[in-house]
Amino acid sequence: MSINVANCPRCGRIYAKTVKNLCPECAQEEEAAYEKVYRYLREKPKSTVQQVSEHTGVPEERILSFLRQDRIMSAEWTELTYPCERCGAEINTGRFCDRCNKEMQESLHSAAKSIRKQDNEERRTSYHTDTQRKRRG
C-alpha cells in the first residue's frame, strides 16, 4: 500500500493526503478561523467583511473564500455583501452575481453554437473548393 502525499498549498509542508486539501495543522487553523468568523457573525450578523476581519483577525481574503464556498450561508442570516468575481457587483452568496451567472450561461450557449456554425461553414467551403478543382479539371 502506498500513502498518498501532497504539498500543503498553504504552508508547503508535505503531508499524507486526506479528504482535506490542507495539511492537518493548516486544516485545523482553517477550522479555527472559520469558527471565529462564524461566531462573530452570529452575534453581529450586520457586520461588513472589513469589520469581521478587524474583530476576528482573520484576513478578509479568507473570509471571502468562506463566503464564496457558501460555507457561511450569508444570504440567509447576515447582511454581508462582497464583490462578484466577474464584475464586482455586491453579492451575498456564491461567487458571481445573478447577471454574470446568466451572462456566462448564455455565452457558453453561444460559444457552442458558433463552434457548430464554424464547423458547417468549413465543410461548405471545402466542398466548394473540391467542385472548383474538378471543374478546372
Q: Footprint of Zn ion on this chain (CB under 5 A)?
A: 8, 10-11, 13, 23, 26, 84, 86-87, 89, 97, 100
Strands (E), 10-132: 14-16, 82-83, 90-91
Helix (H, G, I), strand (E, B) or coil at 7: strand
| Least gap, CB of 18 to Zn ion (angstroms) | 12
Q: Which is nearer to Zn ion, 62 or 86 (CB)?
A: 86
Q: Which is nearer to Zn ion, 41 or 58 (CB)?
A: 58
Task: Provide the minimum distance between the beta carbon of 105 and Zn ion in the complex, in angstroms, as a whole number.
Answer: 13
Residue keyed to cell 460559444: 111
Residue 115 CB, shortest distance to Zn ion, in Å, is: 25
CB 87 within 8 A of CB 97: yes
Choose between 52 and 100: whose C-beta lies nearer to Zn ion. Answer: 100
CA distance 136 to 60: 70
Q: State the nearest-atom distance from the C-beta of 98 to Zn ion, in Å.
A: 8
Residue with Cβ nearer Zn ion (37 or 97): 97
Separation CA 122–CA 101 (nearest Å): 32
Contact (CB, 8 A) for 68 and 95:
yes
